[in-house]
C-alpha cells in the first residue's frame, strides 16, 4: 500500500522513481480551461520574434524560367520553414486556327485548361503559405511550452502569472493552428473542384476526336492538348494528396497538444511538473462510463492519501502511481473512495464523512487535470473504524 504520510523511505523512493517511467500518452480533446484554472484573463504578451534567415527554395526552378511557377515566399523564422511545394505548371501550346468548327472547339477547351493551370499555380503557392503559417504556429507553441516546462522543472510558485502568460501564448498558437487546419480543408475543396474540371475537360477532348469535319492538324492539336491535360491532372492529384496529408498530420498534432496543454495548466496551478498527459487513446476509447458494479473495491489500494493536516501535497505521488498503472494496464479504470473514521459522536462522524467526500472530489479533479478521462473514474464512500482521519483511497479496476 502506497501511503502519503506514513510510508517507508524505500517505498517513497519507489514511488518517485515511477516518474521516470511515466509514459507520455495523448488525449484527444479541445477545451478552453484558462478561466477555469487561472481566473481572470492574463495578458499573453507577444510571441517569440522570428529571425531574418530564410531557407533556400530547394528544387524549385530559378525565377524567370519559362513555363515555371516562381517560388512562393518562405516564412522567415528560427529553426527553418516548411518545404516549398515544387510544382512546375504545364506549358500549354497555343495552336493555330485551321478554320474548322473542331478548331473552334479546341480553342475553347485550351482556354479552360489554361485557366485550370493558373489555379494549380495559385493553389501550390497557397499551400506553401499555409505550411509556413502552420510551422510558425507550432514553433510559437513549442517555445512557450518549453519555457513553461523549464520553469516548472527548476521550481516555481503556484499559479505563477508569468507561466500563465506563457500558457496563454501557447493556447493562442494552437488556436492559430486550428484556423490553419480549416484553411487547409478549404484549399482541399478548391483543388478537388479543379480536379473535377480537369477530368471533365479531358472527357470533352477525347470526345472531340469523333466529331466530323476536322483536319489532320486539328487531331494533332487534340493529341497535344490531351497530353497537357493529363499532366495537369497529375499535378492536381499531387497537390490534393499533399493537402490531405498535411491536414491529417496537423489535426492529430493539435488534438494531442491540446491534451498536453491541459496537463500543463494543472501543473502551473500547483507549481510543479507532472509529465505527459495520462489520457492515452486506449484509455479514452475503452468503453463508456463505469457501471455501479465497478464501484465495489477490494484488495490493496493503488494510493492512500491521508488528509490529517491542511495542504497535503499528494499530486506527484498520485501521478507516479497512475502512470505506472496505465503502463501495465492501458485500459484501466479507477475507483476513488472517500474513507472516513467512525470514532466520536454522531455529529463528528457526519462531519468526517462530508470532509472525506470533499477530499475525494478534490482528488478526482486532480486526476482529470492529469489527463485521465472522466469516463474511467468512479467515486464511492466508506467508513473504516481503524482510520484516524479522512482518507482517499484510489483503486485500479
Q: Which pLDDT does position 315 carry in this prediction?
A: 83
* pLDDT tens profile 90-141: 888 888 888 999 999 999 999 999 999 999 999 999 999 999 999 999 999 9
Contact between residue 137 and residue 173 where contact means Cβ atoms under 8 Å apart: yes
Angstrom distance (rounded) from CA 175 to CA 61: 35
Selected residue with higher pLDDT from 286 and 2: 2
pLDDT tier for residue 72 given thresholds of 50, 70 and 90: very low
Are 117 and 152 in the same domain?
A: yes
Are 50 and 156 in the same domain?
A: yes
Phi and psi for 335 in degrees, rounded to 5?
Answer: -105, 125
Are 264 and 317 in the same domain?
A: no
Q: Which pLDDT does position 276 carry in this prediction?
A: 57
Q: Which strand (E) or helix (H) includes residue 17?
A: helix 9-17
Give the count of beta carbons closer than 10 Å to the beta carbon of residue 34.
18
Percent of the chain beyond pLDDT 70?
Answer: 72
The most confident of the ranges 31-40, 239-248, 362-371 is 239-248
Selected residue with higher pLDDT from 73 and 341: 341
CA–CA distance from 192 to each of 91, 108, 214, 241, 243 (Å)? 21, 22, 33, 10, 11
CA R_g for the chain: 31
Q: Which pLDDT does position 270 carry in this prediction?
A: 81
Q: Which pLDDT does position 16 carry in this prediction?
A: 36
Geometric angle at alpha carbon 232, from 226 and 238, rounded to 5°: 140
Are 51 and 97 in the same domain?
A: yes
What integer is the mean pLDDT of 1-7?
A: 42
Are 231 and 338 in the same domain?
A: no
Q: Is residue 1 part of a domain?
A: no
pLDDT tier for residue 12 given thresholds of 50, 70 and 90: very low
Query: In the predicted model, what is the mean pLDDT of the chain?
Result: 75
What integer is the mean pLDDT of 174-194?
A: 93
pLDDT tier for residue 6 given thresholds of 50, 70 and 90: very low
Percent of the chain beyond pLDDT 90?
Answer: 36
pLDDT tier for residue 378 given thresholds of 50, 70 and 90: confident
Q: Is residue 2 part of a domain?
A: no
Question: How many domains does the chain fold into?
Answer: 2
Q: Which pLDDT does position 70 carry in this prediction?
A: 41
Are 134 and 149 in the same domain?
A: yes
Give the count of beta carbons closer than 10 Å to the beta carbon of residue 49.
7
Q: How is 325-369 classified by DSSP, letter by letter?
A: HHHH-TT--EEEEEEE---S-HHHHHHHHHHHHHHHHHHHHHHHH
pLDDT tier for residue 175 given thresholds of 50, 70 and 90: very high
Angstrom distance (rounded) from CA 338 to CA 380: 6
- Written as nine digits, the cell of 1 is 500500500
Contact between residue 230 and residue 111 where contact means Cβ atoms under 8 Å apart: no
Are 303 and 316 in the same domain?
A: yes
The most confident of the ranges 27-41, 113-127, 346-360 is 113-127
Are 269 and 191 in the same domain?
A: yes
pLDDT tier for residue 277 given thresholds of 50, 70 and 90: low
- Written as nine digits, the cell of 280 is 492515452
Res 285 pLDDT > 70 = no
Q: Which pLDDT does position 86 carry in this prediction?
A: 65
CA–CA distance from 271 to each of 20, 86, 140, 316 (Å)? 19, 47, 22, 11
Contact between residue 159 and residue 215 where contact means Cβ atoms under 8 Å apart: no
Are 271 and 281 in the same domain?
A: no
Res 307 pLDDT > 80 = yes
Q: Any idea what the CATH number is for the domain that residue 82 is in?
A: 1.20.58
Res 288 pLDDT > 80 = no
pLDDT tier for residue 317 given thresholds of 50, 70 and 90: confident
Q: Which pLDDT does position 64 carry in this prediction?
A: 42
Are 216 and 315 in the same domain?
A: no
* pLDDT tens profile 39-59: 444 444 433 333 333 333 334
Q: Any idea what the CATH number is for the domain that residue 383 is in?
A: 3.30.1330
Domain that holds residue 281: 9-27+277-396
Angstrom distance (rounded) from CA 270 to CA 311: 11
Amino acid at each position: 500500500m502506497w501511503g502519503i504520510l506514513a510510508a517507508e523511505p524505500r517505498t517513497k523512493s519507489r514511488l518517485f522513481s515511477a516518474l521516470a517511467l511515466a509514459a507520455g500518452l495523448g488525449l484527444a480533446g479541445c477545451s478552453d480551461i484558462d478561466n477555469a484554472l487561472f481566473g481572470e484573463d492574463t495578458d499573453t504578451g507577444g510571441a517569440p520574434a522570428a529571425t531574418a534567415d530564410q531557407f533556400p527554395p530547394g528544387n524549385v526552378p530559378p525565377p524567370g524560367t519559362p513555363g515555371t511557377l516562381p517560388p512562393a515566399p518562405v516564412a522567415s523564422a528560427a529553426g527553418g520553414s516548411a518545404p516549398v511545394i515544387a510544382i512546375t505548371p504545364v506549358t500549354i501550346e497555343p495552336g493555330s486556327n485551321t478554320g474548322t468548327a473542331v478548331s473552334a472547339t479546341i480553342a475553347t477547351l485550351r482556354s479552360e485548361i489554361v485557366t485550370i493551370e493558373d489555379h494549380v499555380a495559385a493553389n501550390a503557392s497557397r499551400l506553401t503559405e499555409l505550411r509556413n503559417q502552420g510551422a510558425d504556429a507550432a514553433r510559437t507553441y513549442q517555445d512557450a511550452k518549453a519555457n513553461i516546462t523549464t520553469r516548472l522543472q527548476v521550481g516555481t510558485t503556484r499559479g505563477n502569472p508569468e507561466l500563465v502568460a506563457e500558457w496563454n501564448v501557447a493556447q493562442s498558437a494552437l488556436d492559430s493552428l486550428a484556423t490553419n487546419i480549416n484553411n487547409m480543408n478549404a484549399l482541399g475543396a478548391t483543388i478537388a473542384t479543379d480536379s473535377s474540371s480537369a477530368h471533365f475537360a479531358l472527357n470533352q477532348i477525347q470526345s472531340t476526336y469523333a466529331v466530323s469535319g476536322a483536319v489532320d492538324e486539328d487531331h494533332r492539336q487534340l493529341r497535344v492538348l490531351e497530353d497537357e491535360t493529363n499532366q495537369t491532372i497529375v499535378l492536381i492529384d499531387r497537390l490534393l494528396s499533399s493537402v490531405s496529408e498535411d491536414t491529417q498530420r496537423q489535426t492529430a498534432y493539435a488534438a494531442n497538444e491540446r491534451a498536453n496543454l491541459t496537463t500543463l495548466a494543472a501543473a502551473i496551478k500547483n507549481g510543479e511538473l507532472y509529465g505527459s498527459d495520462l489520457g492515452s487513446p486506449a484509455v479514452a476509447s475503452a468503453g463508456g462510463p463505469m457501471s455501479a458494479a465497478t464501484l465495489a473495491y477490494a484488495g490493496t489500494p493503488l494510493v492512500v492519501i491521508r488528509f490529517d493536516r491542511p495542504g497535503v501535497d499528494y499530486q506527484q505521488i498520485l501521478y507516479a502511481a497512475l502512470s505506472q498503472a496505465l503502463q501495465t494496464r492501458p485500459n484501466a479504470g479507477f475507483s476513488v473512495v472517500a474513507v472516513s473514521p467512525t470514532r466520536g459522536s454522531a455529529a463528528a462522524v457526519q462531519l468526517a464523512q462530508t470532509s472525506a467526500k470533499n477530499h475525494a472530489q478534490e482528488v478526482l479533479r486532480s486526476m482529470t487535470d492529469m489527463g485521465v478521462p472522466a469516463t474511467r473514474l468512479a467515486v464511492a464512500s466508506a467508513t473504516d473504524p481503524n482510520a484516524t482521519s479522512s482518507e482517499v483511497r484510489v483503486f485500479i479496476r
